A and B are shown apart, each in its own frame.
Chain A
Amino acid sequence: MFSKLVLATDGSDHSHRAADKAIELAKLSGNASIEIIYVVDGSKSKSDVLQYGDTATVTKKREEMLSIFSNKIAGEGIPSSIKILHGVPAETIIKHVNDNNFDCLILGSRGRSRVQTMILGSVSHKVMKYVKAPVLMVK
């Protein structure tokens, strides 16, 4: 139970709090591992390529950002891995989590701004609705 965890992050403060809770949850079960997933959508691709130039640097920058999470988790002695996915955030998270039989998805409650949420809808709301595994949403 709760041994194969997946943490969805966007690098925001909310996802850092989600990471803390993922670690707590992993400690409870003893032999748990955490997969950290990060979804890159079209507009993120555009702004990252503009900011960092080529795709190799872009990937490196993203891995650096995610290594903050993996180091934090490794520091607690929990095995972890990083996965960068491409697509529309909600749909991509839902598909990845449902396809890989995770025991629990942990995610932060809000990354997008209020205006973005009004236009695009809430990622976490959609994810909660369609992910089959239990979801821990950290406020």
Chain B
Amino acid sequence: MGRTAVGSRTAEAIGRLETALLTLGLLLLTGFNEPTSATVPERAGSEPGGIEIRFETPEGRPDLVTVVVIGLEPADSTVDLRPPSEGDRLDPRIWRDILRVVAVEPDFGAVPSDFPSLLGSYSWARDETGAQLRFRPKFPPTPGIELRVTLDQTAWRGLSPDESGADFTARWTVPDLTRAPTTRVEGVFPSGTQGETVVVPSNLLRLYVHFSAPMSAHAVLPHIELLDDSGTAVPVAFVGIPGGLWDPERVRLTLLVHPGRVKRGVGPNQAMGPVLEEGRRYRLRIASQALDADGLPLVEAFEHEMLVGPPDLQPPDPQQWQLDLPKDPQDALRIRLLEPADRALLERLPWIEGPDSRPVSVDSSASVDGLSLTLKPHQDWAPGRHVLVIPPELEDPSGNRPGRRFEEAGQDARGPGEEIRVVFEIRF
């Protein structure tokens, strides 16, 4: 799990995205006085408005897929596109421009606008969730083929492009069930010591799921459940980010525990209570149906057990971290924390300023428990005064930042805070 301190721009961008999303979520939630209604759990592409694109497949026959759009009321459209009655076939020559389904081979680039759509039939159906627009391919798509679905808001709503908003898209790859799955969940963090159930704070904000190989760009959250000690799935446990929140290699998935339910006193917390209740046991379950980048399911489902302890209200205090200084110019600098930090942020954020006041290039590796950080220099350490710089975005797994508790975040106008500088001297 090494990371080069020089880092990739993408990794940094993802990090910023994580932070930005969290901040945005908090700002929005802080504004709510009334309990908010529960949002629909994320499926293969969903938006807060409730429109959702699903790929329905019978058990064992993913090639017999039906593309289903829910949350799309015929009354939303100002164009008279409605069929005479439910179940009627819709004219594909009209509907293929409204719900465009394109089948492409893996790694196909941008689809030209004059590219043919997948042949199939369109129909309306209705169930307890409301109207459904359904598309059934005429021929079962070949395993490995990617379906790219676009709901053209302009065509659907009959409004001008300015008024209709962005098109709504989803992707899905037909898995090849004749090939044996090879991808597994390697672990979920925070994790405990081998063989022991991890104790997590009740205000835990992030969980990380590590996969053994890159995962599909399609939605993974429908395949992840948080089960309480009675085996009941906890509703709205995680923030529904379309496509999921991934690292650039798509092997690490970040699950954001719904911050509105973690933060006390805001709408969702008051309405639904916290996601994790102190003293109870939970299991995070990743079903084998989650697809890897080849469109194959996982080798097996994975379960991660957690015992919930008291909330962590203590901000990280880097000044208390213990630095195990290098004794040799090629030695790593080892840092031990008193309480766990968010592992991904710990690995990414802290950096070293050298005696020349310039960054020292290091490989950064955090332990799975988030309790230690190892910084290995690319070149020999130069003796002299160094500074361990901890940016203000560093958080513990409960979202507390140096000098500021999660509970306080978003409620003051202090900005992102200041970086922490820990000065140390290297001598040989």
A, B assembled together = no
Using a CB–CB distance below 8 Å, which chain B residues touch chain A?
A: none
